[in-house]
Amino acid sequence: MPPFNTSQPSPVTFSLLGIPGLEHLHVWIGIPFCSMYLVAVVGNVTILVVVRAERSLHEPMFLFLCMLSVTDLVLSTSTLPRMLCLFWLGARDIAFDACLTQMFFIHSFTTMESGFFLAMAIDRYVAICDPLHHTTILTHARITFMGIIVVIRGVAFFSPHPILLRQLPYCRTGIIAHTYCEFMAVVKLACVDTGATTRYSLSVASVIGSGDAILIAVSYAFILHSVFRLPSREASFKALGTCGSHVCVILVFYSTAGFSIFTHRFGKNVPAHIHIFIANMYLLVPPFLNPIVYGVRTKKIREHVFRALGVKVA
């Protein structure tokens, strides 16, 4: 594709570079990425089908889990198929409007993922610290309201991104040094000062991410405090095992997302291939792990899946 040598507000196409320096490994990198995507799709669809079919699972925890599963499906599907076309078919060109659309879905649904992690942490806090009033506090109406707020927040704060980028003139090469249309990678192609736009994006991502992470940490601190006060050692270990696996998934999400955000701000010396590889992880790993941690390790869902498959469980 020819480079953009003159200023133009809306280029026809961009070209995705992939992972700089690792182009010769794209085919091999695509294999584990594809495997993770397939597990994510099958796992999250299974959770949605099981919870919908079984009325006994229409509890706060499983309703929030369904919201998280939908988010995971949209987030992974908006990135992985296009990324695999790049890795395996060498399809680098992406239309400008398609690029902006992908960017909106990635950033808004990543924010929703963070919001649903927080909602699930609140649910676990109420379930463990005030179990007698769990269903009366988290009614279906309140769960629906919380879900709507999470969605509105993700859409509202990141709708300006594609609008801002559409207004910018582009006079540099149309090559995006990334595997997908990330906001910071695209904004670098503009031929005007984008300091204010960049600061807005980083500030919103930092405030939302750090705010959610702090509230989740506080919730699990109260949970741990309550768990250690349980009279039964067996019950304490069971609760710790469940919370521990949840915390591991949350840590993977926030550590990789935080690394990506702060690399844009401070990590000028971080090699591009490391930054981009880790940026892919917070889009791929949580959708892959969530069905395993929240689904397979949840006894009620596991039993219903086995029953549907005709497998007898002792």
Q: How far apart are CA 259 and CA 267, in angstroms?
A: 9
Q: How far apart are the C-alpha atoms of 88 and 54, rounded to whole Å?
A: 40
The whole-number pLDDT of residue 312 equals 63
Lateral strand order in the sheet of 13-16: 93-95, 13-16, 175-176
Mean pLDDT computed over 255-262: 81
pLDDT digits (tens, 9 = 90+) for 80-134: 999 999 999 989 999 999 999 999 999 999 999 999 999 999 998 898 888 888 8
- 85-89, 169-173, 284-288: range with highest mean pLDDT: 85-89
* Phi and psi torsions of 284, nearest 5°: -100, -45
Q: What is the pLDDT of residue 5?
A: 45
Specify the pTM: 0.88
Distance CA 67, CA 39 (A): 18
Residue 212, φ and ψ in degrees, nearest 5: -65, -45
> Which of the two residues, 259 and 1, has the higher pLDDT score?
259
How confident is the model at residue 262, as a pLDDT?
76
CA pair distance 64, 119, nearest whole angstrom = 7
Q: Residue 234 burial (CB < 10 Å; 0-12/13-18/19+)?
A: exposed
Which tokens belong to 240? 């710790």
